[in-house]
Structure 1
């Protein structure tokens, strides 16, 4: 309950007024339904906001709060700027619990966390571990046991990579991200002083392997991606972590579909579903079921694909839960629509694919430029295949508008394919201008 904690967000506490945390949480859930959002708000969440543990809400909560309190900004509600806190807490947008009010140096923890995160993003394993342990540039003594500071650095690196990928795409990140991954496994080899730290470190290293694998995946380095996902799966099996195992299988299924191995995609997704059954997260099962649907679509099995799509949407409709993994913050209705679009595209049902891709682009939060560009690239390609070259060119222009913010080999490859398909239609209104603009756009190397 919030009354047992120091109130560090008095503005939010004032908004609650005489209502109990549970009553206020219920009001937030009602407001969410009014605008088509689903948030798992409860009294515990209210208490964490008022205690200052949640310094910035995720995007779904932000939309709900601004709907509830028209004309207010997040700052008016007592929250911090998103850019200052994204990726530092237990899930996107959440800060770790503040230090005790008895601390003599309240800013020290944040400053040291920043140093560790920069070290992960810029240095090799020895440099990172040395900074994490406060040893400067010297090598890490083999007898030094890893503690909470090093584990937190691994977790911070995962969130920082996800944040940068959300905003800008994978190109340019992959080589840098491989260094902190090496550092994380070096820390695992060094051992930890406590079982709790060991469990967190295994989970963090595994999630980091998946994040680096995704950067390789999105950059077209499929062999590298497969190796990183396998590394994460092995880590999950060693540590007995079903959440990490489900995540590794989820990404493996995605990669297999993209690499033209649809039967492997089905098997990996089904294995992920088995692991996820231990986690009480309908949204995670929904995503894995969509991965399986994508595999069936690649095999040309329309019936099996349709059945899995129906189940995935039913699971998604059950809403969010506290058991949802942190990494699933991207899996909102827009992503659901996008994954369905990809299924119909694989089944050569271009008009239906375009319908869902258009919905995905309309629903996508503009803060996530990479996903918005991806959805519009999918839409452009589906429209080109569906015989709507003018609309395809218009969607292609929208993708080009985003390429100064987003660096993704995957998106550029999709757009190049669309351009090739539109060449025979160059005399159609708008197509020639798109083709000329696309041809003059610098490519990633």
Structure 2
């Protein structure tokens, strides 16, 4: 039933249709076709998250994880297939964590990241372990624990170097940059950012895992924009976030909405208050298409900035943002 639901969602979103559903044998045995079916379900959930954010996709992904667990615990299969099923359970648990993080449900995110890390350790799977550590790093920085974020990013970087994918090392480097920026270590952040940019330009090395497909020039521009925000270089931050929006693929609707609210914040901080206010109101249409707690946090930040400006136009914009936040059930 879940897979049929996810096929319908995928079709509605213009996403690739998962493989045809397979039926277990009477003895409960399953084969490769069942694994491929489950993996296609997770792939569709990745794409739905990219397009619409973590809020609405989280419950679907939790249900998918329950299905994978049920198959693991009630079916028969060879050891080689069992390992792949366990890995899929870890990847699905990690995606539950990511979606909870994006929905700003941090305790739930920690729970699922813990489960994913346990599976990664049990299987000794570098890719999954890097994915979990990089996510925990981002969460730590988001929650105001940049030192933890840095240590987690360095742990992930050590494993990424062993994995041998320059693109993956660049992605983890961005997590390191974020933590260093929040720690106020501008020189180290600049060095880490420059290294991440160089790594993206490499053609050699092992291909990055499928889950890292989102990383590229747009992500690096956004990272640099956030770095300049932290050190108070707001005009430069605005330019880089604008570049990130221009480069971001339209399939990543949640990121585009998040970037737009970040740009509105940067414009206000750069002294372009009227432009920032107008841009924030204009971006509500984009925000309406996604369900992301992180994006809503950015909206609240812009609203609070505008509320401090004693001008009729900005106060009106702040009121519109407040009204929108209330309709979404946000503070």
TM-score with structure 1 length normalisation?
A: 0.66
Q: Which position in structure 1 is the counterpart of 2:240?
A: 356
Q: Which position in structure 2 is the counterpart of 1:439?
A: 322
Q: CA deviation at 1:84?
A: 5.4
User: What is the 5 A alignment of 1:63-102?
Assistant: 85-86=15-16, 88=18
Partners of 1:279 and 1:323 within 8 A in 2: no
Query: Between Structure 1 and Structure 2, which shows a larger proportion of helix residues?
Result: 2
Root-mean-square deviation over aligned CA pairs: 2.4
Q: Which position in structure 2 is the counterpart of 1:239?
A: 123
After superposition, the Cα gap between the structure-2 partners of 1:173 and 1:321, relative to the gap in structure 1 and judged at 3 Å, is same
Partners of 1:390 and 1:431 within 8 A in 2: yes
Aligned mates of 2:72, 2:130 — CA distance in 1: 21
Greater radius of gyration (CA): 1
After superposition, the Cα gap between the structure-2 partners of 1:425 and 1:244, relative to the gap in structure 1 and judged at 3 Å, is same
Q: Which position in structure 1 is the counterpart of 2:261?
A: 377
Partners of 2:20 and 2:37 within 8 A in 1: no
Q: CA deviation at 1:228?
A: 1.1
Aligned mates of 2:220, 2:20 — CA distance in 1: 38
User: What is the 5 A alignment of 1:6-85?
Assistant: 85=15
Aligned mates of 1:390, 1:420 — CA distance in 2: 14
Q: Which position in structure 2 is the counterpart of 1:106?
A: none
1:133 equivalent in alignment to 2:18? no
Q: CA deviation at 1:134?
A: 6.5
Q: CA deviation at 1:202?
A: 2.3
Aligned mates of 2:196, 2:17 — CA distance in 1: 28
* Structure 2 residue corresponding to 1:399, chosen from 283, 290, 301: 283
* Structure 2 residue corresponding to 1:111, chosen from 20, 28, 33: 20
After superposition, the Cα gap between the structure-2 partners of 1:293 and 1:191, relative to the gap in structure 1 and judged at 3 Å, is farther
Q: CA deviation at 1:261?
A: 1.1
Q: CA deviation at 1:339?
A: 1.8
Quick one: higher RCO (CA 8 Å, sep 6+), 1 or 2?
Answer: 2
Q: Which position in structure 2 is the counterpart of 1:296?
A: 180
Q: CA deviation at 1:406?
A: 1.1
Aligned mates of 2:266, 2:123 — CA distance in 1: 42
Q: CA deviation at 1:320?
A: 8.0
Aligned mates of 1:145, 1:358 — CA distance in 2: 53
Q: CA deviation at 1:363?
A: 1.2
Aligned mates of 2:39, 2:138 — CA distance in 1: 23
* Structure 1 residue corresponding to 2:98, chosen from 214, 233, 238: 214
Q: Which position in structure 2 is the counterpart of 1:386?
A: 270
Aligned mates of 2:301, 2:25 — CA distance in 1: 50
Q: Which position in structure 2 is the counterpart of 1:265?
A: 149
Aligned residue pairs total: 318
TM-score with structure 2 length normalisation?
A: 0.87
Unpaired segments ≥5 residues, structure 1: 1-80, 89-109, 114-131, 136-142
Query: Could you list the per-position Cα deviations for residues 283-333 of structure 1 after superposition, in whole angstroms to 9, with x for gaps in the alignment?
Result: 100010110111111211111111111111111111586621101121121
